């Protein structure tokens, strides 16, 4: 009767057909001997509330939430974690007897994905491209990592200003500026920074020609350049930065770490990521991206 007692998990998004979460979570479940199945559900924004009520009615164990539902899920859940309260975004819902609980595992997933590069962050200046929900999770993680200064670069400057205000007022950061990609001193800010992060969708499949940075002359060997995008594995942003000698990393490890953290929430476990699992999953998921 194992099949009828399987726990049901899933990811909801629009679009969702290219999500790597199902192969990843089904890999985790097999590896960790969890009797569950993880599916992708294409849910339109206007159907989100029905979806969440239904998932609860059907006794789903948990859901991951991806674009464009991360903010609405935070709002619709009955209970929110302190991080969700602060960031107003959720990527993980857990269905308990008392209702739905919202969490976000993105900030911790980002931090865990840094590995030994994490030491670059304390006391360093960072330039982040983007000011949306993903950027908000990342600046929270950056504040926890003790960075000393942040430049937020965004085409819509008012959004960058709002995120900067959030950093100053809610995250107690002190040196934060919001600029447009055309700011004359952008190269200077890059030169002063140890880390550059792309939290926009620019360069994501299929628009792989795009990049949040047009001129890479200020990028050097000293920089750690991170792109939240993992499809393609090497965006034009990472490709150009690597050509300049920078150390680069894409978003695949963050995806894997946030995924295991979600599973730990659902299972109330504390499964740890080992090197073997990480490399098996990177290989499995890279194959899925082909």
Active site residues: 70
Contact map string, positions 95 to 134, toward its own copies, x by CB under 8 A: ----------------------------------------
3-state class (DSSP) for residue 127: strand
Q: Which residue lies nearer to its own copies by CB, 184 or 287?
A: 287
Q: What angle do CA 40, 6, 285 make, to 5 degrees?
A: 40
Out of 28, 29, 34, 51, the residue judged to bind its own copies by CB under 8 A: 51
Out of 185, 210, 280, 288, the residue judged to bind its own copies by CB under 8 A: 288
184-190: long-range contacts at Cβ-Cβ below 8 A with a sequence spacing of 24 or more?
Answer: 186/153, 186/218, 187/215, 187/217, 187/218, 188/218, 189/125, 189/127, 189/151, 190/127, 190/218, 190/219, 190/223
**Does 205 engage in binding with its own copies (CB under 8 A)?**
no
Task: Please check whether residue 135 is in contact with residue 128, taking contact to mean a CB–CB distance below 8 angstroms.
Answer: yes
Helix (H) or strand (E) holding 50: helix 48-57
Range in contact with its own copies (rule: CB under 8 A) among 56-64, 90-98, 210-218, 246-254: 56-64
Cβ count near 93 (within 10 Å): 29
**Does 19 engage in binding with its own copies (CB under 8 A)?**
yes
Q: Which residue lies nearer to its own copies by CB, 41 or 79?
A: 41
Please name the residues in contact with 128: beta carbons below 8 A apart, sequence gap of 6 or more.
135, 138, 139, 142, 150, 151, 152, 153, 196, 197, 199
**Does 10 engage in binding with its own copies (CB under 8 A)?**
yes
Strand partners, 101: 79, 94
Task: Quote the least distance from Cβ 58 to its own copies, whole Å.
Answer: 4
**Does 255 engage in binding with its own copies (CB under 8 A)?**
no
Closest CA relative to residue 181, chosen from 228, 227, 131, 143: 131
Task: Quote the least distance from Cβ 105 to its own copies, whole Å.
Answer: 19
**Does 282 engage in binding with its own copies (CB under 8 A)?**
no
**Does 34 engage in binding with its own copies (CB under 8 A)?**
no
Task: Quote the least distance from Cβ 13 to its own copies, whole Å.
Answer: 10
Q: Which residue lies nearer to its own copies by CB, 59 or 116?
A: 59
Distance, CA of 137 to CA of 263 (rounded, Å) = 19
Out of 23, 149, 232, 233, the residue judged to bind its own copies by CB under 8 A: 23
**CA distance readout (Å), 31 to 116, 205, 269:** 26, 30, 14
**Does 20 engage in binding with its own copies (CB under 8 A)?**
yes
Task: Please check whether residue 132 is in contact with residue 160, taking contact to mean a CB–CB distance below 8 angstroms.
Answer: no
Task: Quote the least distance from Cβ 75 to its own copies, whole Å.
Answer: 17
Distance, CA of 113 to CA of 254 (rounded, Å) = 5
Range in contact with its own copies (rule: CB under 8 A) among 35-43, 132-140, 162-170, 221-229: 35-43
Out of 34, 40, 89, 150, the residue judged to bind its own copies by CB under 8 A: 40
Which residues here bind its own copies, judged by CB under 8 A? Answer: 1, 3-6, 8, 10, 12, 16-23, 26, 37-44, 47-48, 50-59, 288
């Amino acid at each position: 009767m194992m099949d009828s007692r399987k726990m049901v998990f899933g990811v909801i998004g629009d679009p969702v057909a290219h999500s790597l979460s199902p192969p990843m979570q089904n890999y985790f479940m097999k590896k960790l001997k969890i009797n569950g199945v993880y599916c992708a559900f294409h849910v339109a924004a206007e159907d989100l509330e029905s979806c969440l009520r239904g998932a609860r009615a059907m006794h789903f164990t948990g859901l991951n939430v991806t674009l464009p539902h991360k903010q609405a899920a935070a709002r619709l859940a009955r209970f929110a974690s302190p991080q969700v309260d602060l960031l107003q975004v959720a990527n993980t819902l857990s269905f308990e007897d008392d209702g739905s609980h919202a969490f976000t595992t993105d900030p911790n997933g980002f931090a865990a994905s840094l590995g030994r590069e994490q030491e670059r962050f304390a006391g360093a200046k960072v330039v982040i491209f983007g000011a949306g929900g993903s950027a908000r999770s990342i600046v929270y993680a950056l504040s926890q990592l003790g960075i000393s200064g942040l430049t937020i670069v965004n085409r819509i400057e008012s959004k960058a200003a709002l995120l900067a205000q959030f950093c100053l007022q809610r995250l107690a950061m002190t040196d934060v500026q919001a600029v447009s990609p055309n700011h004359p001193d952008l190269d200077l800010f890059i030169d002063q920074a140890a880390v550059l992060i792309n939290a926009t969708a620019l360069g994501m499949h299929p628009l792989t020609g795009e990049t949040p940075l047009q001129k890479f002359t200020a990028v050097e060997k000293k920089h750690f350049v991170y792109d939240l995008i993992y499809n393609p594995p090497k965006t034009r942003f990472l490709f150009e930065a690597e050509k300049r000698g920078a150390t680069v990393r894409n978003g695949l490890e963050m995806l894997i770490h946030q995924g295991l953290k979600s599973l730990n929430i659902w299972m109330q476990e504390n499964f740890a990521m080992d090197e073997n699992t990480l490399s098996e999953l990177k290989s499995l998921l890279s194959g899925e991206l082909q």
